[in-house]
Amino acid sequence: MALTKLNGLILKKMIIAGANRLNEKKQIIDALNVFPVPDGDTGTNMSLTALAAAKEAEKINSLSISEVAKAISNGALRGARGNSGVITSQILRGFSKGLEGLEEVNTRELAQALQNAVKTAYKAVMKPKEGTILTVAKACADSASKIAETTQDIDVFFQKIIEDGNAMLLQTTEMLPVLKQAGVVDAGGKGLLCLLEGAFESRNSIEVLKTAEPLQNQTENFEALASVENTSITFGYCTEFFILVNNVEEKVVQNLKTYLSTIGDSIVCVSDEELIKIHIHTDHPGLALEKALLIGQLSGLKIDNMRQQHTNRIDFSSSQKYKTEQTEQKTIKQKEIGFVAVSPGDGLSKIFKNLGVDEVIQGGQTMNPSTEDILNAIEKVNAKTVFILPNNKNIILAGEQAAKLVKDKTVIVIPSKTIPQGITAILNVTEQDVQQVQQTMIESIDNVVSASVTYAVRETVFDGKKIQEGDIIGMQEDSIAIISKSAQKGVKELLDKIVTEEAEMISIYYGEDVTQKEAENIKKYAEKKFPNCDIELQRGGQPLYYYIISVE
């Protein structure tokens, strides 16, 4: 008998199976990087995002497909990592919105939800480019709309979607020149189809599926995506209650939200015809209750001292340190602006700290920080306005997504794509006016040339250059400038190519695989070759990149 309807239990099984498949195949997807540089870890980012979505779905035992879809959306948003992960979360968010209020769905309703998923994902990207995950997603949605007109069979429906999606995936090689030169398909599109294929194969399974743990010892990082509220207790009392009402006006609910935002955070305020459900973290539960009593009667009151709960879960020394940090945070007046930066190495992290960055997130090419990681860092900065320096093109979108979720601070993402851009941006901050700081930082990143020396992870041909696995390559921005057989020789060749007569300063940050003596030799070379430039050498401690270079 053909399957003609999907309900919540089947969707839960499908997202778990799809996430597990993506987790198994992530190394294959990572290997599809266009450049012979470990750039973004698309498979890793997408799998962590999907596993977070599956974890949330696993908590829901409901036949309602809209309830399960909402849990999937929430989990994906909190666990999103990198550009590919954020786009995946938006696909799932749009799909969820398209299923709102439905208990089960047929092929036509699924097709409509998939179209909504594509619209949401395209809207989330500032400059959508064809030949990417977006193109594959659109092909799948368009296929769904066509096949839904001719069949109600869910199996036939998904088979055709996946078939057409794979056909479009093959075309991505011809749609982007950079993909064609490398001879690969789009990694994000491949990841999306892995998710769909795993989901499809599980639809008739009677096996009880469990969400897998991330491969390659990523369990600790994945588990850290649990909750912002549990990682930074700014307000001490978790306060929950119902207000009993009768068809309350939306204006009343909105005014209540506005007031609650002045006395706490982590606010959830949901209303229907009969009640308003409130959840807030605050230091003054009584104020919240008094405001609520002006609207209606109270029910289901629950107040927990989160600081006390936290102390009971950790050892004595950790709890003392925590209390000290909280006391200091309470006594320091909130400043006007603060900064969060992403850094791939311990040396670079110290540099950012010394330049006045409040919170540094460890991350970069090998592991893009998630939206949740960025949210946690923002939460720790005691400032009215927080500037984010992603310092990697694959992290900008996650930063922008985090900025949308913050309600009690203004968050501004500076689109720094490299470490040199981030350092230059923070160096140029000389005042506290928010608009002027933003303008100065954006203008400054355009005046720096960023370069790096790394190694090829696969054999390929790029810009007519044949590259062997293990070759040393010098990158200027996103382009390959030189190919060499040693890091020391390569960095010299790269400096010769990128330093112009107009250059005034060269900053060299050496990585974890470079000795201080080797780095000092490069500095001596630069001082002799470019006598009119100030040469600065610092230990960056970054993995993968032997050298990161800034020329101004």
Element spanning 523, H or E: helix 516-529
**CATH code where residue 416 lies:** 3.40.50.510
Q: Do 132 and 86 meet the contact criterion of CB atoms below 8 Å apart? A: no
Q: Are residues 177 and 268 in the same domain?
A: no
Q: Do 48 and 193 meet the contact criterion of CB atoms below 8 Å apart? A: no
Look at residue 325 in the predicted model and tell me its pLDDT.
47
The answer to whether residue 231 is domain-embedded is no
The answer to whether residue 322 is domain-embedded is no
Amino acid at the residue 297? Q
Q: Are residues 438 and 461 in the same domain?
A: no
Q: How many residues does the chain have?
A: 552
Q: Which residues are CB-neighbours of 288 under 8 A, at least 6 positions away?
A: 239, 260, 263, 264, 278, 280, 282
Look at residue 240 in the predicted model and tell me its pLDDT.
66
Q: Are residues 265 and 160 in the same domain?
A: no
Q: Are residues 456 and 426 in the same domain?
A: no
**CATH code where residue 65 lies:** 1.25.40.340
The answer to whether residue 426 is domain-embedded is yes
Q: Are residues 300 and 439 in the same domain?
A: no
The answer to whether residue 326 is domain-embedded is no
Total domains in the fold of the chain: 4
3-class DSSP string for 54-71: HHHHHCCCCCCHHHHHHH
Q: Are residues 541 and 400 in the same domain?
A: no
Q: Is the dihedral of CA 497, 501, 503, 507 positive or negative?
A: positive
Q: Do 518 and 488 meet the contact criterion of CB atoms below 8 Å apart? A: yes
Q: Do 136 and 165 meet the contact criterion of CB atoms below 8 Å apart? A: yes
230-240: string of b/e by CB count within 10 Å (b at 16+)?
eebbbbbbbbe
Q: Do 71 and 52 meet the contact criterion of CB atoms below 8 Å apart? A: no
Q: Are residues 389 and 246 in the same domain?
A: no
The answer to whether residue 342 is domain-embedded is yes
Q: Are residues 96 and 150 in the same domain?
A: yes
Domain stop point among 445, 463, 490? 445
The answer to whether residue 111 is domain-embedded is yes
Give the three-class secondary structure for 274: coil
pLDDT 10s digit of each residue in the chain, 552 long?
678 999 999 999 999 999 999 998 888 887 775 433 334 468 888 999 899 999 999 999 999 999 999 999 988 877 777 668 878 988 998 999 999 999 999 999 999 999 999 998 888 775 678 899 999 999 999 999 999 999 999 999 999 999 999 999 999 988 887 777 777 888 899 999 999 999 998 876 656 667 767 665 333 332 222 322 333 356 777 676 768 888 888 888 788 878 887 887 756 565 556 767 676 778 888 888 888 888 888 876 767 665 554 444 333 334 444 444 444 444 457 888 999 999 988 899 989 988 889 999 987 665 788 888 899 999 999 999 999 999 998 899 999 999 999 888 999 999 999 999 999 999 888 777 899 999 999 999 988 999 999 988 778 777 677 888 889 999 998 888 999 989 999 999 999 999 999 899 999 999 999 999 999 999 999 999 999 998 999 999 998 899 999 998
Q: Give me the domain span that covers residue 464.
A: 450-551
Q: Are residues 439 and 455 in the same domain?
A: no
Q: Are residues 15 and 81 in the same domain?
A: yes
User: C-alpha dihedral over 49, 50, 55, 60, to 10 degrees?
Assistant: 120
Q: Are residues 408 and 498 in the same domain?
A: no
From 140, 109, 137, 108, select the one nearest 123 (Cα to Cα). 137
The answer to whether residue 229 is domain-embedded is no
